[in-house]
Amino acid sequence: MIFPARTIVCALSFAALIAGAAGASAGESKWSDSGKAKVRLIAAGATPAGSIRAGVEIRLERGWHTYWRYAGDAGIPPRFDWSRSTNLADAEILWPAPQRIPVEDGIESIGYKDSVLLPVRVTPRDPSKPVALRLKLDFGICEKICVPASADLALDAAPGAGQSFPALDRSEARVPIKTKLGDPGAVRITAVKIERGKKPGVLVDVEVLSGKSADLFADDPAGGWSPPLPKRRSFKDGRARFAIGLDGAGASPPVKSLRLTLVSGEDSIEVLVPLD
């Protein structure tokens, strides 16, 4: 059978359109609808180190928020179950800089408003083969009422060049840079001191070269202790002091180290400091 040239051109154009659409969606899972939130997985190809750039994207209805790795005074941190994945050695969550979210009566949470894309560094067991990502995500969302949510997600992530995700680039740029106590930079943590006595606590001195306001978050890297949110005691000429209370924890800190996250505008750092 002989087809008119126009029909052949249209058929080829349609096939190209379908192929292009398939390629565009190859790095994205379907959205999982969790009521006030939608969640999906994305993958953007390999890094020079051999891991695969991926991400968990959470889109919330306006006015709702979700939580950081440590939720603060109230909230449910996300829980990631990758156990059904295949060819997966590790999936490391990289947390963009969070913000304080006032709840009520002085209670504050730590997290993200409206939406967040959490970068993930996926390490394959066999770098030459795709990773079948299978994620069961349990997380909390909150407006005036806080509710638990969950999502089941699936995506096959190939180790090739992948496609571009500007949103993932922006989220990776918002992940705090790991530095050491006293290291120079646009934002820096200059000193940490333990206060003992009737009101034990930890004092943290910071510097912000831009002169912009700064905020500090603290969490236990082992996840066993829930510290109170740091309170800013002073701020002048780009220098601030924060206090982390140890009331009820005895005269000494209940952990040997704290992970401190300092955020000022687009700049953020993460410092692991010993307390013994």
Read off the pLDDT of residues 43-94 as tens digits, 9 standing for 90 and up: 998 888 889 999 999 999 999 999 999 999 999 999 999 999 999 999 999 9
The beta strand positions in the chain, using DSSP E, are 32-33, 37-46, 52-60, 65-72, 79-81, 88-93, 99-104, 107-113, 115-124, 131-142, 146-157, 177-179, 187-195, 201-208, 215-219, 231-236, 239-245, 257-264, 267-274
As a whole-number percent, the residues of the chain with pLDDT over 70 amount to 87
Tokens of 42: 């994305």
Cα→Cα distances 114→16, 17, 37, 97, Å: 36, 33, 9, 15
Please tell me the distance from the alpha carbon of residue 121 to that of residue 52, in angstroms, as a whole number: 6
Mean pLDDT of the chain: 87
Q: Is the pLDDT of residue 125 over 60?
A: yes
pLDDT of 203-215, one tens digit each?
Answer: 999 999 877 789 9
Q: Stretch 136-150: mean pLDDT, rounded?
A: 93
Q: What is the pLDDT of residue 264?
A: 94
pLDDT band at 252 (very low <50, low <70, confident <90, very high): low
Rg of the Cα trace of the chain? Answer: 23
Q: Which residue(s) pair with 236 in the sheet?
A: 239
pLDDT band at 1 (very low <50, low <70, confident <90, very high): very low
Query: Does residue 197 sit in helix, strand or coil?
Result: coil
Question: Which one of 40-54, 83-97, 184-198, 223-237 scores highest in mean pLDDT?
Answer: 83-97
Exposed e or buried b per residue across 157-181, where buried means at least 16 C-beta atoms within 10 angstroms of its C-beta: bbbeebeebeebeebbebbbeebee
Q: In order of start, what are the domains of the chain with their CATH numbers? A: 27-173 (2.60.40.1250), 177-274 (2.60.40)
Q: What is the pLDDT of residue 248?
A: 56
Q: Stretch 229-235: mean pLDDT, rounded?
A: 92
Q: Is the pLDDT of residue 17 over 50?
A: no
Which of 107-116, 176-185, 222-231, 242-251 is predicted with the least confidence, judged by mean pLDDT?
Answer: 242-251
pLDDT band at 6 (very low <50, low <70, confident <90, very high): very low
Cα→Cα distances 133→41, 43, 130, Å: 9, 10, 9
Q: Is the pLDDT of residue 216 over 80?
A: yes
Tokens of 2: 């002989």
Q: What is the pLDDT of residue 25?
A: 36
Higher-confidence residue of 162 and 141: namely: 141
Query: Does residue 170 sit in helix, strand or coil?
Result: helix
Q: Which residue(s) pair with 37 in the sheet?
A: 60
Q: What is the pLDDT of residue 2?
A: 41
Q: Is the pLDDT of residue 14 over 60?
A: no
